[in-house]
A and B are shown apart, each in its own frame.
Chain A
């Protein structure tokens, strides 16, 4: 079981103080645009490592004009009750406390697995590779919390290497020293991503679902990504001259793309209709949830912002049925209560309104 039981938002975005007592069922938040629905989901997304579902900076979370800092506090059932707090004072980094003790964001990742789907991702299949890579990494992180650490190590060593390239430093030892670390962390990332793609394929193949299967593959621009630490090291040594000319590292796990084919039609996801593209994303999120439930015994928290958009009534109903079958605590938003009618009493409903710049969340049955 993984579910939030109490959630408090304090001076977080449009919320002055919002307290929610909820059970493990899915939650539907409805209300007009700008009322502060997504802010609730964003607060929940901060119970996992990183910058949350909008990739914001810590200061952006603070309610304005006060700018006093912010806090999100949750009582979470994650194999036992835990109290999780995350906050930032003005100008300070985000801090985390679990059961009253200081903790790291990686600790959070081990305890609470969160996946999200937001309207900005509706164009995921047709925009640049970065968004798809980030989506793949978030799914990978849900299976393997250590993925974040490997990615940070790789990123740091690569930024150092890029600095050397830009400054046209010629010292091969310095490059080799950085590339050794990039190779070790990069191969760990590559293995974890590949394992995620396999896990998702298995979870999609074994499921009875109304959502289409996405055949995933990981690709690299221009050349094939070297498949071992030795090959990566050789590739970086061979391309150093070209990398110096470009001022950046041109080969490596930081450049991979996740491509998807709409299996039933055999067409690339980017060529599918808007609704089909959304359905593929939903399919992956659900497959990720099923695979996690099978592996760690509990589905992740799902944050589905404006999830009904682009889905026809049949698919909306199917999505709700699958969420309930999965047993996931899904936090969903939509403009009106009618979007969640098909859930019946399987969900908790909250109306979100706004008064003078402050969000008000009211239980609506």
Chain B
């Protein structure tokens, strides 16, 4: 590319670093933005500038918001006594999309992994223990991944919350799923978690 396209090339390089994008899709996205300068590029630049200035982590739960306390933590309606523990903000957003859970969240920011040198102090576990005491939490719902690291973290948290009801999301047949397509581990988990019909 010629020198006068260096800015565009720099933008493509940055976009290619985004999750889910590679060099080819980044190039397509940038080209599309330039073609739709008025409808997309301008508003996108403005929105990014605003987010850059205002986005911050909620000091209570770790959610992303625009103030020190996110909308969920600030809402008295969400003080149901239930606290849902998730690994990442994207998991919190997934739970919110389902619009079923009415309580509050706690984002850990990862899972325990001795091999990756991620310990309890690197996660928001001490803050979680404090919140359970301070916010009169009656039930902690662990919505953590069904991986070794996710389950290690779940066991660890349960160990630190004696006297509090600790539950975890059920594992098994997905809604609309067919048994024939499930792996043995999922079928075993589903059978173990069976309930009266």
Contacts and interface: CB of A to CB of B under 8 A. Distances in A.
B113 A160 contact: yes
B151 interface: yes
A153 B149 CA distance: 10
Given A161-B114, A164-B114, A177-B153, A149 B185 contact: yes
A157 B160 CA distance: 20
Nearest to A180: B155
A153 B114 contact: no
Interface stretch (A41-49, A56-64, A165-173, A347-355): A165-173
Contacts of B114: 160-161, 163-164, 167, 169, 174, 178
A180 B155 CA distance: 8
Interface string A221-252: 00000000000000000000000000000000
A304 to B, nearest CB: 29
A347 to B, nearest CB: 36
A104 B155 CA distance: 28
A159 B152 CA distance: 13
A174 B156 contact: yes
B155 A181 contact: yes
A69 B146 CA distance: 33
B184 A177 contact: no
B183 A106 contact: yes
A346 interface: no
Contacts of B183: 104, 106
A104 B156 CA distance: 30
Given A149-B185, A156-B148, A181-B151, A173 B159 contact: yes
Interface string A121-150: 000000000000000000000000110010
Contacts of B26: none
A177 B155 contact: yes
Contacts of A171: 119-120
B113 A176 contact: no
A284 to B, nearest CB: 25
Nearest to A179: B155
A174 B112 contact: yes
A160 B185 contact: no
B175 interface: no
B152 A157 contact: yes
Contacts of B151: 177, 181
A160 B120 contact: no
A151 to B, nearest CB: 12
Contacts of B153: 177
B28 to A, nearest CB: 23
Contacts of A181: 148, 151-152, 155
A163 B115 contact: yes
Contacts of A104: 183
A157 B113 CA distance: 9
A341 to B, nearest CB: 44
B159 A153 contact: no
B115 A146 contact: no
A160 B148 contact: yes
Interface in A172-222: 173-174, 176-178, 180-181
Nearest to A160: B114
Nearest to A110: B184
Contacts of B115: 159-160, 163
A46 to B, nearest CB: 21
A176 B148 contact: no
Interface of B: 112-115, 119-120, 148-149, 151-156, 159-160, 183-185, 188
Given A174-B156, A177-B151, A177-B155, 13 more contacts: A146-B185, A157-B148, A160-B113, A160-B148, A160-B152, A164-B114, A169-B114, A169-B119, A174-B112, A174-B119, A176-B155, A176-B159, A178-B152
List the 10 closest pairs (A to B, CB-CB), nearest first: A177-B155, A163-B114, A177-B156, A160-B114, A173-B159, A156-B148, A177-B152, A146-B184, A164-B114, A180-B155
26 contacts: A104-B183, A106-B183, A145-B184, A146-B184, A146-B188, A149-B185, A153-B148, A157-B148, A160-B113, A160-B114, A160-B148, A169-B114, A171-B120, A173-B120, A174-B119, A174-B120, A176-B155, A176-B159, A177-B151, A177-B152, A177-B153, A177-B154, A177-B155, A177-B156, A178-B155, A181-B148
